[in-house]
Structure 1
């Protein structure tokens, strides 16, 4: 530690200042690298967090978490710009070829984990979600938080549906439209630069992948109410999101400050409470536990393989920030309490079949 002030800073708030020190180069790992150091922390995190200072910080964070995640319209735009408008070329350096920036689905019952590529796992994720949506040709689908358009293109191309995808990211909006045109699907897919709160129905299906984490604690009921309002009476929705095993919490300051301003991984208890208030049926629920850890590990591997390009594109400090983010995120799923969940929702009790057989993927998921 090259800065004497770090001793006090790390004692008071290690989760914030360790990341900042690594970014600034005042924390130097001489043997093992940042992954090794963070793995030691991950194995000891429960004991470290029981200390009185850490408990106090967590209490303060939970008390003011709604203030931290207000995510009103202007704030939502700025928060999206801070992360998703960094450069499309940056994301190409570590994501799969379809630019899927959310948890992949690794069907290890079909093929051993080490034999599944990231591209295969992300395609399996899209197919898994499509099975739960029970799509029929000609249906109208709303994709809330459509990213670079991969899901919308997949659904339109393979299921004959008409998709409207909405995003607040200028970079994603521009590239998604280009990709739709390149696929010749302009008559099937429309990409809009639009807040989900301004969407009007009716839609037969709603899909939302990796967007609920950006809604903000105070807006959960509004989010699910919007899904309810745009759905047809016999429609259904599929929400795919990061979640947490424990009760309601707060996002760590380093992640809030440098990676996902306004972001939060919701607890199931507060998610279900908002769904109940919105008057929706939960027709299916699936927990994906280690899938995101495996996804992040592959992202980090690809990032490291292209690290020099990242430094050239941005700078060394950015590269350090991003590798810190990818590793701590992976460990939060591997050693911590984070997971992913997929919730199927409907307005009507009979909108979807009453058994799960209809959404079983089968061995062709990786075909």
Structure 2
């Protein structure tokens, strides 16, 4: 009975789809929704009638239904793009519903918080899944952030190198500089910056797996005199640095701690310092809707995560720092090809990963994560920016 009611309710919503074509197959029955000549189209196969109840629980329900095999699709990216376009038409209605829901989620503690112990647990839940996993789909430097494609034919390796060169150039790095990196990853930027510019680098992470491999890679590169890798929360760092970089780490800070993050960056940066931030962002108009609300991403992929908006970043700079934004570039268009490359490599490596103990449910979870992220960037529900901030004495 519940499945039948859910089928009727979801079917009524699908009947209003105008931004794409969705064909739904359930047993011997096929239903079609949306214009037949739509540019975006996807076929959904229902394996379990309970799948009709999944959309009633938002992205968490949809993602869990896919991970558990209750439904399939021939094009997950296109399907989520259609959903993103439909949601854009409904943002006003969603806001009225989502704001009280988000408050309820926060009061019940459904979204993990990033206290110091909480941040270590949350980071470990994703980044300590195994270095072999990440090496299987990332480039040779293991950069787990948006690349920068100088042209459409560029490889992932070349695009990640172009991103790193771009960052070093914007920071005007030279042998006289001491660069602080908040969010080591696996040491790719730290090693590249030290080699390319001759600068000193102090880099920190709270992922044990990242810390161990980054230290090994620094040793293998012969850069132990230039690069120091720390296993330390950014809130506990000491010292002063004339350059600071943080590449897609801010998304793990948590909405409650954005002020603390920018305040600490400001304190760690010398009076003539520069900071480069690369951040995945959400539109200002839906930041309050999504902030602190339970989602598939912040419960199953990046526990405790929250995307800032550009307005939020500007507000933090003005409120708690002496820094001014002196340059910003929207690099959102470079994320879909980055994610498509990661997803392709992940599936190419799947048999090897399966032999190492990753199961089918894990494969489907990562398929949903990578595909939904790509769709979100394609439809600009989420974006990616690089921004340069300067202290008052910077020249």
Give yes or no for the alignment of 1:333 onto 2:333: no
Q: Is the 8 A contact 1:243 1:341 kept in 2?
A: yes
Q: Which residue of 2 aligns with 1:363?
A: none
The answer to whether residue 352 in structure 2 is matched with residue 309 in structure 1 is yes
Using a 3 Å threshold, how does the CA distance of structure 1 residues 63 and 136 change in structure 2: closer, same or farther? Answer: farther
Q: Give yes or no for contact 1:310–1:319 (8 Å, CA) kept in 2.
A: no
Structure 2 SS opposite 1:78: helix
2:256 aligned with 1:212: no
Q: How does the TM-score come out when normalised to structure 2?
A: 0.81
Distance 2:175 2:388 in 1: 20
- C-alpha RMSD of matched pairs (Å): 2.1
Q: Which runs of no fewer than 5 residues in structure 2 stay unpaired?
A: 1-45
Structure 1 gaps of 5+ residues are 353-367
Q: Decide whether the 8 Å contact of 2:77 with 2:375 is kept in 1.
A: no
Matched, 1:13 2:13: no
Is the CA contact 1:79–1:260 (under 8 Å) kept in the aligned structure 2?
yes
- Give how far 1:46 is off: 2.6
C-alpha displacement of 1:62? 5.9
TM-score (norm 1): 0.87
2:190 to 147, 152, 160: 152
Q: CA shift at 1:335, angstroms? A: 1.1
Give the 3 Å change call, closer, same or farther, for CA 129–62 of structure 1 in structure 2. farther
Give the distance between the partners of 2:161 and 2:185, measured in 1 at CA.
Answer: 15
Aligned twin of 2:18? none
Which residue in 2 is equivalent to 1:344? Answer: 388
CA distance in structure 1 between the partners assigned to 2:144 and 2:87 by the alignment: 27
Provide the rounded CA distance (Å) in 1 between the counterparts of 2:54 and 2:269.
50
- 1:319 matched residue in structure 2: 363
Structure 2 equivalent of residue 73 of structure 1: 116
Equivalent residue for 2:80? 38
Question: Given the alignment, which residue of 282, 296, 302 partners 1:254?
Answer: 296
How many pairs were matched up?
Answer: 342
1:191-230, aligned counterparts within 5 Å? 191-230=229-268
CA contact (8 A) 1:165 1:189 kept: yes
Q: Give yes or no for the alignment of 1:263 onto 2:308.
A: no
Deviations 1:325-367 (A, max 9, x none): 000000100013211112211221x413xxxxxxxxxxxxxxx
Q: SS of 1:13's equivalent?
A: helix
Structure 2 residue aligned with 1:60: 101
1:310-335 deviations in Å (ceiling 9; x for gaps): 33331000000001100000010001
Bigger CA radius of gyration: 2
Q: C-alpha separation between the residues in 2 aligned to 1:120 and 1:168?
A: 28
Verify the 8 A CA contact 1:84 1:171 in the aligned structure 2: yes
Q: Is the 8 A contact 1:176 1:191 kept in 2?
A: yes
Q: Match of 2:137, SS?
A: coil
